[in-house]
Chains A and B, each alone.
Chain A
Amino acid sequence: MIRGTVIGQVWATRKARGLDGQTLLLVAARDAEGRATGRLVVASDTLDARAGEDVTVAFGSGARNVLRPGPDNRDLLCDAAIAAIVEGAG
């Protein structure tokens, strides 16, 4: 997983059927010191995260488990999902 900050939302009408109904947020990744690394990630959101909030993003099967707990979730089109809204980090 990575830690990052939500900076916006992405909208698309021409998309794979598997993305229907998913909210896609743009997240700027942060390093251990809290600085933006420059990397941008698009993640599915089920937690209603808002711009400016710090979040964790899970990838791969971990991301699918956010949308629907497995093991029968390999039909989902999801490789990154917001897993938590971060309140603090040391």
Chain B
Amino acid sequence: MFLGRVAGTVWSTVKWPQAQGIKLLLVRPYRVGDLPPGAAAAPGAAPSEPTDDLVVCADILDAGPGDDVIVAFGHAARVAVSEKLPPGSKPMVPIDAAVVAVVDRVEIPR
């Protein structure tokens, strides 16, 4: 899983039927360099380059741009999305990343 900020949304009309109704978000992962100074004050810590890489994630929590979220990959993402499918459905949706939490607070002791 990773911590990121929702940067936008993606929509499409041509897609696999199993992906119908699944909202997609663009999420930018946080890196060590994005944290407040002193947060990663462990030996050898160096400021990191920011990244522009965005991850496309399914969204079941109605997150929106500016929200800080946790994103899960792989089977865990399909497990999260299948919570919104009819009971007994198997997690066969064609996705590999999903927003699994909207973050309230990140606690970083100095």
Shortest distance between the CB of A46 and any CB in chain B (Å):
15
Q: Determine the residue in chain A with the shortest Cβ distance to B33.
A: A38
Instruction: Kindly identify which residue among A5, A36, A42, A75 contacts B70, using a CB–CB cutoff of 8 Å.
Output: A42
Shortest distance between the CB of B85 and any CB in chain A (Å):
13
Known A-B contacts A7-B35, A34-B43, A34-B44; the reply to A79 vs B107 at CB < 8 A is no
Q: Is the CB of A14 within 8 A of B102?
A: yes
Per the bound structure, the CA–CA distance linking A17 and B81 in Å amounts to 10
Complex interface: chain A residues within 8 A of B44 (CB)? 30, 33-36
Number of A-B contacts defined by CB within 8 Å: 137
Instruction: Kindly identify which residue among A52, A60, A75, A80 contacts B42, using a CB–CB cutoff of 8 Å.
Output: A52
Complex interface: chain B residues within 8 A of A13 (CB)? 104
Classify chain A: how many residues form its interface, as a range: 35 or more
Shortest distance between the CB of B90 and any CB in chain A (Å):
10
Q: Is the CB of A16 within 8 A of B32?
A: no
Query: Which of A12, A39, A61 is the most central at the interface, judged by chain B CB atoms within 10 Å of its CB?
Result: A12
Residues of A with Cβ closer than 8 Å to B? 5, 7-19, 24, 26, 28, 30, 33-43, 51-52, 60-61, 64, 74-80
* 10 further contact pairs, Cβ within 8 A, besides A10-B103, A12-B101, A16-B100: A12-B70, A18-B76, A18-B83, A38-B48, A40-B31, A40-B32, A40-B35, A42-B1, A52-B109, A79-B72
**19 sampled A-B residue pairs with Cβ under 8 A:** A8-B106, A10-B70, A10-B107, A11-B105, A24-B1, A30-B44, A35-B45, A35-B46, A36-B42, A37-B32, A37-B48, A40-B30, A40-B31, A51-B108, A60-B75, A64-B75, A77-B100, A79-B77, A80-B1
Residues of B with Cβ closer than 8 Å to A? 1-3, 29-33, 35, 39-40, 42-46, 48-49, 60-61, 70, 72-77, 79-80, 83, 98, 100-109
